[in-house]
A and B are shown apart, each in its own frame.
Chain A
């Protein structure tokens, strides 16, 4: 980063911890193709070595470096400086929906607790391990998730209403979709979706889909089909009657 400097810009970064904080302005040189995470690393390396930032792969594959850049939830490793307005400071704030630990690092441990509630893949009995590519393709969309938690951050059920105890959030509906639509899976997660994961609270505003760096169609392909399964199971009078007569069968 020290070479090929063409210009400078100001990064306005949140500095603080659980007890509060404020933004601080840092002058940062801008090199071609530079991303916001490079600028944060420059600050660590040359100005403020204690600036707390999470990152790992720096290639959009691990989902560690999420933050709110100029008010938009982004992966900082994929946010190019030259895509942002040059005439004003670039603000970098921590994810708002999770408690701040320090600077840009937030406490995302709640997500790991929710994940534990989801029953894992259970192969159907006597299954043959033959799968068509078509079936793989359909589920792969959900399995692309890198757990950046940007969708959790913008979901208004979590962000504005803080219903973390009743609602699992889009990330975990994507996870459940990946399991439920696995061609060989035999577990039943529909009651869990309705009760513990609270899928009914989602009112399909698609904010999650908009911010997904993996371009997963969270609302259309994961949440809505899962909502339909819940409705079919619990609210459709014909199905309920049918199930009463036959008992639960194969999905």
Chain B
């Protein structure tokens, strides 16, 4: 059977071509590994291009008092101490080197007067810390990594979707995938895999995420036996566009607030004074998102159900220079000139802090040979991610995962591919063509409604219970769902596959959210509004056990004395 498939061999297979995947590829290539990068879109289109505000790194170019310890403390406090502290430490220590490296590969950042990399203020960061290029930092980052990787000789399999990891008695062996263009199958034989597929934002209606963010990598790892961690922590970015309807959810960068943007309700009140008088608009994302949500719910929202975000007090030229894509986005899509009038904004699903449980040093999951980095991995951000910490996460842990995957490949041989698994993967992919059920688009819309209304910013046991029931019904509908047309570039068929990952990971989110009977960071339970000390000492773990999804708790290892001291400082 396998004779019928196109087969490719690589030491290291990387799934996902955003910042984490590409940084991992570059590092594995530098170690002499042969590297294949598989991505669902064209190279250079991954969601990293949407990152706007900047890369957090304590370079101390603008605020000389900044250092890794402060960055570590900010990250831990922002994450409500649920972070993997070792990851938070490595991240804070290594981020500046990763930024300098980007510059040496050709990235051009905005500059200070003295010619160093400029840094801007962002929510939850004590100092001006975000290295940036106007409001299109992600594009600069991805182009730099993309060109570096291509020149080093990575093989990129564009518009190709992995649907299953192939295993050999608990050992990673390869991956089964299809080409989106023609629907043909391809099998990858590899010694190690780095999962860098991003998050699950497309399971919500109002989201800043593109069609790609369907939790694929988490589902692949879960099915292969790896553990997922803290899936209940889903970040709603406080500021997405709310009007007109077609643009609802599109991101409005936190850099607007970083550059001095002010939030007001319809009465003109600067409401952050009530919720976080010290940090105001630059409070952490969980706090700002809840504040806007509360203002709207209590009847003080704007015409289209959001808050006003105003940067028009700054000189027009400054706004156009520092926030060029925001200026164009509002002008072209909403007929709003942000240099003269306020934007209307509201929370939008943006990021998941939870993901594949990994070792801090290597990014290896609980299954040997399976690594993860970036949004697909859990740990660094704890219960809430600070803006700017995502791009630095990609660089620091992308590099570490690539390095460790290459080292793993060096000491391993290829595992045999089992034809039964491949046949099964093929059968699963083709099943929808023979079905007569609904279109996957209808099922996807309903999934989004369930997650938006029942597993959103504020949660209750009743809602989560209902969500679990609804998800089971959606799963049954998805299993019977049908696909029209041929295997040639067929988005309906592609969605029917992505839908399986979305449903699985949505279930993990709901299950963890139900279990965590407290409010912490991005997880807010109306029925348990306070922090619970016991829950502060443990993670939620999700694992596949005998075909069923099982949840358990995992104690957080105690903080070493030196880090404890850093945390205790003001």
Residues of A participating in the B interface, judged by any CB pair closer than 8 Å: 1, 3-4, 17, 31-35, 38, 44-46, 48-64, 78, 80, 101-103, 105, 108-109, 112, 115-116, 119-121, 123, 129-133, 136, 139-140, 143-144, 146-147, 179, 182, 185
A17 to B486, CA, bound (A): 11
- The 8 Å CB contact of B49, one of A49, A57, A109, A115, is A57
Which residues of chain A are near B46, meaning CB under 8 Å? 56
* 6 CB < 8 A contacts A-B: A33-B334, A46-B441, A52-B490, A57-B47, A59-B251, A136-B110
Which residues of chain A are near B109, meaning CB under 8 Å? 136
Residues of B participating in the A interface, judged by any CB pair closer than 8 Å: 41-47, 49-50, 100, 103-106, 108-111, 114-116, 118, 133-134, 136, 139-140, 143, 147-148, 150-151, 158, 181, 210-212, 243-247, 250-251, 325, 328-329, 332-335, 439-442, 445, 483-486, 488-493, 495
A60 to B440, CA, bound (A): 26
Most buried by B among A45, A56, A131: A56
B492 touches A50 (CB 8 A): yes
- The 8 Å CB contact of A44, one of B44, B483, B492, is B492
* Residues A44 and B333 in contact in the complex (CB < 8 Å), given A33-B247, A130-B114, A140-B134: no
Which residues of chain B are near A17, meaning CB under 8 Å? 488
A140 to B439, CA, bound (A): 44
Q: Which 10 A-B pairs have the closest CB atoms?
A: A33-B244, A121-B106, A49-B492, A50-B485, A130-B115, A52-B489, A45-B441, A102-B489, A56-B210, A38-B246
Most buried by A among B46, B489, B495: B489
- 10 new A-B contacts, CB < 8 A, other than A33-B334, A133-B118, are A31-B245, A50-B491, A56-B212, A59-B251, A80-B333, A121-B106, A143-B108, A146-B139, A182-B106, A182-B108
A189 to B42, CA, bound (A): 26
- The 8 Å CB contact of A61, one of B50, B244, B439, B489, is B50
Which residues of chain B are near A52, meaning CB under 8 Å? 488-491
A58 touches B250 (CB 8 A): yes
Which residues of chain B are near A32, meaning CB under 8 Å? 244-245
B484 touches A50 (CB 8 A): yes
Which residues of chain B are near A182, meaning CB under 8 Å? 106, 108
A32 to B486, CA, bound (A): 34
B50 touches A62 (CB 8 A): yes
- The 8 Å CB contact of A31, one of B244, B445, B484, is B244
Which residues of chain B are near A54, meaning CB under 8 Å? 41-42
* Residues A140 and B332 in contact in the complex (CB < 8 Å), given A56-B41, A58-B250, A131-B108: no
Most buried by A among B49, B108, B181, B442: B108
Which residues of chain A are near B335, meaning CB under 8 Å? 33
Which residues of chain B are near A115, meaning CB under 8 Å? 147, 150
A62 touches B49 (CB 8 A): yes
Minimum C-beta distance from B107 to chain A (A): 9
